Amino acid sequence: MQLIDSFGRTVNYVRLSVTDRCDLRCIYCMAEEMTFLPRQEVLSIEEFTSLGRAFVELGVTKLRITGGEPLVRKGTIELLQNLGQLPGLQELCLTTNGTHLTQYARAIRDAGVKRINISLDSLNPEHFRRLTRFGDLDQVLAGIKAAQHAGLKIKLNCVALKHYNADEVPALVQFAVDEGMDISFIEEMPLGKINDHGRAAEYISSDELRTRLSRDYSLLPHEHSHAHAGPSRYWQIAGFNSRIGFISPHSHNFCGSCNRVRVTATGRLLLCLGNEHSVDLRAQLRAENYSEAALRAHIVNAMQHKPEKHFFDLQEEPQIVRFMNMTGG
Ligand code: SAM
Ligand code: SF4
Residue 42's CB: how many other CB atoms inside 10 A? 22
Candidates 186, 196, 247, 270: which one to mutate for ligand 1, based on the most atoms within 8 Å of Cβ? 186
* Series of mean pLDDT values for 10-residue runs along the chain (329 residues): 93 97 95 92 98 98 97 97 98 98 98 98 98 97 98 97 96 97 92 82 92 94 66 90 90 80 96 84 97 97 88 62 67
Ligand 1 contacts CB of residue 232 (under 6 A) = no
What pLDDT does residue 184 have? 96
User: Which ligand number lies closest to the CA of residue 117?
Assistant: 1
What pLDDT does residue 200 have? 87
CA distance 158 to 245: 10
Ligand 2 cavity residues, CB under 6 Å: 22, 24-26, 29-30, 67-69, 97, 119, 324-325
**Domain residue ranges of the chain, discontinuous segments joined by +:** 3-326
Q: Which CATH class is domain 3-326?
A: alpha beta
pTM: 0.94
What pLDDT does residue 227 have? 56
What pLDDT does residue 276 have? 72
Distance 167 CA to ligand 2 centre (A): 21
Residue 51's CB: how many other CB atoms inside 10 A? 24
pLDDT tens-digit map of 35-73: 999 999 999 999 999 999 999 999 999 999 999 999 999
